[in-house]
Amino acid sequence: MATNKLGQVKELLALTVLGLLSSLSASLLLKEASGGFVSQQSNVVIRAYYNFSHATHQPLNALAVVVVPSLWLLALSSHYRKIPRAVLDCFGGFFVLRMVIGLLFVNALLFTPATSQSLLLGQILAFLPFFVVAWGWLIWRIDYWGREVPQGIIAIPDENEPITSFDYYHASIYSIINQGKSGFKGVTRLGRSLCLVHNLMLINLLGLALARAYGLVQKML
């Protein structure tokens, strides 16, 4: 029972961090909208992300004010009752969806005139932590789906000791630090496919950051 409680507390902590990073990333990505940026763009992705963010703004506020504290009280209660798996999966799945749409939006911004190169570089850098934690949770969840033993679908090659959920987030961070070289290795066909998608998205995001940094340097010279 104590192990189950600790596991849910750690996952709830990761999802709470995801919520904070999601809000920060979304607010920065939409910062230029206050100047009529979105209304002046015909780009479908920009409009879709803008509408999606605004449509989910109030539900996220309700989650932050009511649902999340309630889940924390339930998880930390001395009369521990297990949080339904479906509730945590809905939270995580929603943030993964926001991460995918956010990446599409970041790509769309590359083809729009920037009012501030430094702002757009900052938006990408703010998106990185959200990207890292979202992928860490997703790979951990899929690897443990219906299994008691980890690394049945996706392995972490550098880990020799018994792994925990922390190792998945660490491997996701390592993928960024190691210049796009994934810290994961697919074991099954599903695992290899997921690692391929992760690598492509990671390379894309790092390329965008470099492109914005180069543009900022060029503007300063």
**What string of H, E and C letters represents the secondary structure of 65-109?**
HHHHHHHHHHHHCCCCCCCCHHHHHHHHHHHHHHHHHHHHHHHHH
Give the model's pLDDT for residue 41.
52
Q: Residue 181: helix, strand or coil by DSSP?
A: coil
Encode the chain (221 residues) as per-residue pLDDT tens digits: 344 677 788 888 888 888 888 777 766 666 554 444 555 555 566 666 667 666 766 666 666 666 777 777 777 776 666 778 888 888 888 889 888 888 887 787 766 655 555 666 667 777 888 899 999 999 998 988 756 667 788 888 876 677 888 888 888 988 888 766 778 888 889 889 999 999 999 988 888 878 777 776 776 66
Give the model's pLDDT for residue 137.
92
State the burial class of residue 47 (Cβ atoms within 10 Å of its Cβ: 0-12, 13-18, 19+): middle
What pTM did the predictor assign?
Answer: 0.79
Q: Which residues pair with 185 in a beta bridge?
A: 155
Q: What are phi and psi of 82, to 5 degrees?
A: -65, 130
Q: Residue 185: helix, strand or coil by DSSP?
A: strand
Q: Residue 156: helix, strand or coil by DSSP?
A: coil
